[in-house]
Amino acid sequence: MQNTPIGIFDSGVGGLSVLKEIRKSLPNESIVYFADSANCPYGSKVEAQAQALAREKIEFLLEQGCKLIVIACNTVTAVAIDEFRSVFGVPFIGMEPALKPATFQTKTGKIGVLATENTFNGRLFKQTLEKYANGVEVFVQPGFGLVELVEKGEHKSKKARRLLEKYLLPMIEQGVDTLVLGCTHYPFLKEMIEKIAPQPIAVIDPSSAVAAQTKRILCEFNLCSEQNNPTFSFYTTGEKINADRILSQTMNHPYHLKQIKR
Ligand code: DGL
């Protein structure tokens, strides 16, 4: 069981930002990653549809023998992780909006959160807000259109810049000095965000915390691998060429990529 893979799921290629951190923390682990790029974005879909789409892919990952699943998607965590934990017999790790570290970082007491509509509508975000946002002002902004640009590899385009300026400059003008990235596609935009901010802002990406939590849970369940030759398999419902463009920039190890119709 120790040497069976970790499964990572995202609506698309965004979860590769999480995979990168998991590779750093857990270099001996084999990974099977599923990107549902043909159905991406999930962030503005009806919740039940996003749940059903994600569930099918989790079943596929479990058929591949995954010992633990990382939902590397804030949106799917928000709409489906409770159900997955109650139905499937493996540990699940999800993404939580990183408001807690943001409250420690901010000096102005004003935090921005960029995420999808479904993430903001979910119970998890409301609970996290209640728990951690005492005494700070939180500005929320759905990142309409950004996920699609990252999927197409256009995260450095003029269009990406225009959208980010529209979403972020108003909150920065109001004093936001710390920005939480509440969608795993957005770390691909980090460089552009730092460029457009008129003064330095702290950009918080929870990927490394999620990798640390994955490691903790694997150890707790005695599931850590010590193999020296881990394998990496990627499945996408989208175009192989799009996945490969981002994968080749993310992975420094040979991998196997397959398009799958599901
Ligand atoms: N990476 C997903 C997230 O973290 C993208 C959401 C979407 O598909 O809209 O929320």
- pTM equals 0.95
Q: How confident is the model at residue 262 (pLDDT cuts 50, 70, 90)?
A: confident
Instruction: For residue 203, report the distance from its CA to the centre of ligand 1, in Å.
Output: 18
Topology adopted by domain 6-94+208-259:
Rossmann fold (3.40.50)
Residue-averaged pLDDT of the chain: 95
Task: Output the six-digit token pair for 116.
Answer: 């999808």
Q: At what angle do helices 74-87 and 47-63 cross, to 10 degrees?
A: 60
Span 152-173, pLDDT tens digits? 999 999 999 999 999 999 999 9
- Cα of 107 from ligand 1 centre, angstroms: 29
CA triple 128-130-134, angle to 5 deg: 110
For residue 14, how far is its CA from the centre of ligand 1 (angstroms)?
Answer: 7
* Active site (annotated) includes residue 73: yes
Active-site annotation holder among 66, 183, 219, 224:
183
The ligand 1 atom at the shortest distance from the C-alpha of residue 40 is 8
Arch. (CATH architecture) of 99-205: 3-Layer(aba) Sandwich (3.40)
189-203 burial: b if 16+ Cβ within 10 Å, else e: beebbeebbeeebbb
For ligand 1, pick from 37, 74, 117 the residue to mutate: most ligand atoms within 8 Å of CB.
Answer: 74
User: Reading across the β-sheet that carries 31-35, which strands appear in turn?
Assistant: 92-93, 68-71, 6-10, 31-35, 232-236, 256-259
Does 6-94+208-259 match 99-205 in CATH topology? Answer: yes
